[in-house]
């Protein structure tokens, strides 16, 4: 590598989960605080690919992106690979993709400015350390200006589900301290956030001393200016009584729960090392619904896990029918290098897994449509997040997390809307009155 002028503009492209979106925003704020200007992907002098390693398809995307960038018509940018692929395959990326200048892991991106300087000086720069001192202390204050903002409260995972790379790419479970979170929430609200979504790989495992996630939610609910609180993703074994009660008691906590069960067969759940069975999951959902009857239940499913028989798969269909989802994500099992499931006996043929995936997605889509249809005629508050495709059209979110299209209102408004029509993926609403929130 030869030296070159330091980049003056940047573009961050995030793949994968919401935590990556959060990390991408923080990397952007960090680069901006160093004087770099935000630009689009065609012109930026530094491109950060903030990658995801969860499934093979996600991980391979980065290599095609690198190939495209290396041949960019406006000149090859400096390329930084961040995120979970960087953590999992750092040295391999350097070998496979010579166009890459910087590799930085999810726990080391506070060092991005130094790594970029090294690369500008002609040295390939790699940092995938998981330092004891958290990156959060080294990052600049939040400057986000959006009505809905993410706030990472907990990172990493100690659960080691046998199919999953996250414990390896994100490291051990760490909760951020209470005071730092109240501080960051305040900065987000000052920047215009009316909704905060608390993020964690196992967000409901968050704790600080004796305080759990429900205590944090209760404290945030007292902050003036904040109208809505959400949290994701939860694990069934950390779904404690206090959090369930918060769904009944805290008005600002939105009626939405993303609680993955992954499969409907106890035998498969055991092989996945999920530490809960189907019965325990269904009892949890009953208790959450008793606390908040209108709650929208979302989930994740994996089909084609090694050893999954037809009967196991039928059991997954039964669980979906028993729950009645407002929405759910379903994936074909993807063997990931270094995880125990990748070398288990009984790997399922791709065409069998594909067929199961389609059979699972049908009832999920029906349930989502039914949930959306049931909101027609109701009134609810909608938080407007951005403009829609047609002139004058705005797009916001219902309390249950659905996208709502309306004519009128401005970004950041919390508006009372009557739901007039429902489609599979969004609702249409009529503005009734400006909410006094
Ligand atoms: N921490 C969260 C989410 C982790 S990743 C949780 O435990 O719920 C998001 C989803 O991706 C998982 O819930 C799972 O359904 C899916 N997933 C993870 N590893 C996978 C793999 N190897 N193949 C297919 N899907 C996978
Ligand atoms: Fe992965 Fe399981 Fe941890 Fe979720 S709980 S991040 S699926 S290991
Ligand atoms: Fe992907 Fe890493 Fe998130 S693997 S799903 S970006 S934690």
Report CA(86)–ligand 3 centroid distance (Å): 11
What atom in ligand 2 is closest to the CA of residue 300? 7
User: Residue 37 is part of which domain span?
Assistant: 9-127
* 99-115 pLDDT tens trace: 999 999 999 999 999 99
> Which of the listed residues 56, 84, 86 should we mutate to test ligand 3's pocket, taking the one with most ligand atoms within 8 A of CB?
84
- Does one domain contain both 416 and 315? no
What atom in ligand 3 is closest to the CA of residue 170? 7
What atom in ligand 3 is closest to the CA of residue 165? 4
Q: Does 329 map to a domain?
A: yes
Report the nearest-CA residue for atom 1 of ligand 2.
164
Q: Does 1 map to a domain?
A: no
334 lines ligand 1 (CB under 6 A): yes
- Does one domain contain both 173 and 85? no
Whether the Cβ atoms of residue 407 and residue 431 lie closer than 8 Å to each other: yes
Sequence-ordered strand ranges (E) for 18-167: 37-38, 46-51, 78-82, 102-104, 125-127, 148-152, 154-155
- Does one domain contain both 18 and 79? yes
What angle, 0 to 180 degrees and rounded to 10, lies between the N-to-C axes of helices 241-249 and 278-291?
Answer: 30
Q: What is the pLDDT of residue 437?
A: 43
Provide the CATH number for the domain around residue 81.
Answer: 3.40.50.12160
DSSP-derived secondary structure letter, 236: G
Q: Does 39 map to a domain?
A: yes
- Does one domain contain both 73 and 15? yes
Task: Supply the pTM of this predicted model.
Answer: 0.96
Structure tokens, 296: 């929208």
Distance CA 49, CA 58 (A): 12
Pairing of strands 154-155, 174-175: antiparallel
Report CA(37)–ligand 1 centroid distance (Å): 35
Report CA(428)–ligand 3 centroid distance (Å): 32
Structure tokens, 237: 């074994």
Least confident of 139-143, 280-284, 396-400: 139-143
Helices assigned H by DSSP within 71-111: 83-96
- Does one domain contain both 59 and 190? no
Taking 70 as the threshold, does the pLDDT of residue 436 lie above it? Answer: no
70 CA to centre of own chain: 29
Report CA(419)–ligand 3 centroid distance (Å): 34
- Does one domain contain both 92 and 200? no
Distance CA 374, CA 368 (A): 10
Report CA(164)–ligand 1 centroid distance (Å): 6
Mean pLDDT within 18-24: 97
Instruction: Please report which ligand is nearest the Cα atom of 200.
Output: 1
Taking 50 as the threshold, does the pLDDT of residue 293 lie above it? Answer: yes
Instruction: Please report which ligand is nearest the Cα atom of 167.
Output: 2
Mean pLDDT within 23-47: 97
Q: What is the pLDDT of residue 146?
A: 92
Mean pLDDT within 35-61: 95
Instruction: Please report which ligand is nearest the Cα atom of 272.
Output: 2
Report CA(165)–ligand 2 centroid distance (Å): 8
Distance CA 139, CA 415 (A): 34
Q: What is the pLDDT of residue 145?
A: 82
Distance CA 35, CA 44 (A): 14
* 333-373 pLDDT tens trace: 999 999 999 999 999 999 999 999 999 999 999 999 999 99
Report the nearest-CA residue for atom 3 of ligand 3.
17
Report CA(371)–ligand 2 centroid distance (Å): 27
Distance CA 155, CA 173 (A): 6
Share of the chain above pLDDT 70, in %: 99
- Does one domain contain both 243 and 142? yes
- Does one domain contain both 211 and 70? no
Average pLDDT of the chain to the nearest whole number: 95
- Does one domain contain both 267 and 170? yes
Q: What is the pLDDT of residue 327?
A: 98
Sequence-ordered strand ranges (E) for 345-410: 379-387, 393-397, 403-407
Taking 80 as the threshold, does the pLDDT of residue 153 lie above it? Answer: yes
* 114-133 pLDDT tens trace: 999 999 999 999 999 998 77
Whether the Cβ atoms of residue 131 and residue 104 lie closer than 8 Å to each other: no
Taking 90 as the threshold, does the pLDDT of residue 239 lie above it? Answer: yes
Tokens 């350390």 correspond to 129
> Which of the listed residues 157, 204, 276 should we mutate to test ligand 2's pocket, taking the one with most ligand atoms within 8 A of CB?
157
* 302-327 pLDDT tens trace: 999 999 999 999 999 999 999 999 99
Element (DSSP H or E) covering residue 399 = none
Least confident of 25-34, 88-97, 157-166: 88-97
Instruction: Please report which ligand is nearest the Cα atom of 340.
Output: 1
Q: What is the pLDDT of residue 433?
A: 59
Task: List the Cα angle 127/163/368 in 5-degree steps.
Answer: 105
Answer positive or negative: Cα dihedral of 386, 388, 391, 394: negative
Q: Does 4 map to a domain?
A: no
> Which of the listed residues 18, 52, 156, 167 should we mutate to test ligand 2's pocket, taking the one with most ligand atoms within 8 A of CB?
167
Q: Does 188 map to a domain?
A: yes
Pairing of strands 256-258, 296-298: parallel
Q: What is the pLDDT of residue 20?
A: 97
Q: Does 82 map to a domain?
A: yes
Structure tokens, 119: 């690369």
Taking 50 as the threshold, does the pLDDT of residue 63 lie above it? Answer: yes
Q: Does 3 map to a domain?
A: no
Taking 70 as the threshold, does the pLDDT of residue 143 lie above it? Answer: yes
Q: Of 239, 262, 358, which is closest to residue 315 (Cα–Cα)?
A: 262
Which of 127, 151, 169 is at the close of a domain? 127
Taking 90 as the threshold, does the pLDDT of residue 2 lie above it? Answer: no
Pocket of ligand 3 (CB under 6 A): 16-17, 19-20, 52-54, 83-84, 165-166, 169-170
Mean pLDDT within 244-267: 98
Element (DSSP H or E) covering residue 420 = strand 414-422
Q: Does 388 map to a domain?
A: yes
Report CA(170)–ligand 3 centroid distance (Å): 8
Radius of gyration of the chain (CA): 22
Report the nearest-CA residue for atom 12 of ligand 1.
300
Provide the CATH number for the domain around residue 395.
Answer: 2.40.50.140
Q: Give the pLDDT band (50/70/90) at residue 434.
A: low
Instruction: Count other Cβ atoms within 10 Å, centred on residue 217.
Output: 23
What atom in ligand 3 is closest to the CA of residue 18? 3
- Does one domain contain both 198 and 138? yes
DSSP-derived secondary structure letter, 318: H
What atom in ligand 3 is closest to the CA of residue 84? 2
Q: Report the domain count for the chain.
A: 3
Which of 332, 356, 374 is at the close of a domain? 374
- Does one domain contain both 82 and 151? no
Distance CA 44, CA 46 (A): 5
201 lines ligand 1 (CB under 6 A): yes
Q: Starting at the edge strand that comes first in sequence, how are the strands of the sheet with 125-127 ordered?
A: 37-38, 9-14, 46-51, 78-82, 102-104, 125-127
Whether the Cβ atoms of residue 394 and residue 415 lie closer than 8 Å to each other: no
Burial of residue 157, with CB atoms counted within 10 A of its CB: 0-12 exposed, 13-18 middle, 19 or more buried? buried
306 lines ligand 1 (CB under 6 A): no
- Does one domain contain both 370 and 385? no
Which of 127, 162, 188 is at the close of a domain? 127
């Amino acid at each position: 590598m030869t030296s070159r002028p330091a980049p003056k503009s940047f573009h961050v492209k995030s793949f994968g989960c919401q935590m990556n979106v959060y990390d991408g925003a923080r990397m952007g704020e960090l680069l901006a605080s160093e004087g770099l200007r935000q630009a689009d992907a065609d012109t930026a002098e530094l491109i950060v690919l903030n990658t995801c390693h969860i499934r093979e398809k996600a991980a391979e995307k980065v290599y095609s992106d690198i190939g495209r960038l290396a041949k960019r018509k406006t000149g090859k940018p400096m390329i930084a690979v961040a995120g979970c692929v960087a953590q999992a395959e750092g040295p391999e990326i350097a070998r496979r993709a010579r166009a890459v200048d910087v590799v930085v892991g999810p726990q080391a991106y506070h060092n991005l400015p130094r790594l970029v300087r090294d690369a500008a000086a002609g040295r390939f720069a790699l940092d995938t350390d998981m330092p004891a001192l958290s990156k959060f202390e080294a990052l600049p204050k939040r400057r986000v200006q959006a009505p809905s903002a993410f706030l990472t409260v907990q990172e990493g995972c100690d659960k080691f589900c046998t199919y999953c790379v996250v414990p390896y790419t994100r490291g051990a479970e760490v909760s951020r301290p209470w005071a730092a979170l109240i501080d960051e929430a305040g900065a987000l609200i000052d920047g215009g956030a009316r909704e905060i979504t608390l993020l964690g790989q196992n967000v409901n495992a968050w704790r600080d001393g004796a305080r759990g996630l429900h205590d944090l939610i209760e404290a945030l609910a007292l902050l003036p200016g904040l109208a809505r609180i959400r949290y994701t993703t939860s694990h069934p074994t950390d779904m404690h009584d206090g959090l369930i009660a918060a769904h009944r008691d805290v008005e600002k906590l939105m009626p939405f729960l993303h609680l993955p069960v992954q499969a409907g067969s106890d035998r498969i759940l055991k092989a996945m090392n999920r530490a809960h069975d189907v019965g325990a999951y269904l009892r949890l959902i009953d208790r959450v619904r008793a606390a908040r009857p209108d709650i929208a239940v979302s989930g994740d499913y994996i089909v084609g896990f090694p050893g999954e028989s037809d009967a196991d798969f039928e059991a997954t269909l039964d669980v979906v029918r028993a729950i009645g989802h407002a929405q759910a994500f379903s994936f074909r099992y993807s063997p990931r290098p270094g995880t125990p499931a990748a070398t288990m006996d009984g790997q399922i043929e791709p065409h069998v897994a594909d067929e199961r995936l389609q059979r699972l997605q049908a009832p999920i889509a029906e349930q989502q449509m039914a949930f959306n249809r049931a909101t027609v005629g109701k009134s609810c508050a909608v938080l407007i997040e951005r403009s829609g495709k047609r002139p004058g059209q705005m797009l916001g979110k219902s309390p249950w997390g659905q996208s709502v299209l309306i004519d009128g209102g401005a970004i950041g408004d919390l508006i009372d809307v009557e739901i007039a029509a429902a489609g599979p993926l969004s609702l249409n609403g009529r503005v009734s009155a400006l909410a006094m929130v």
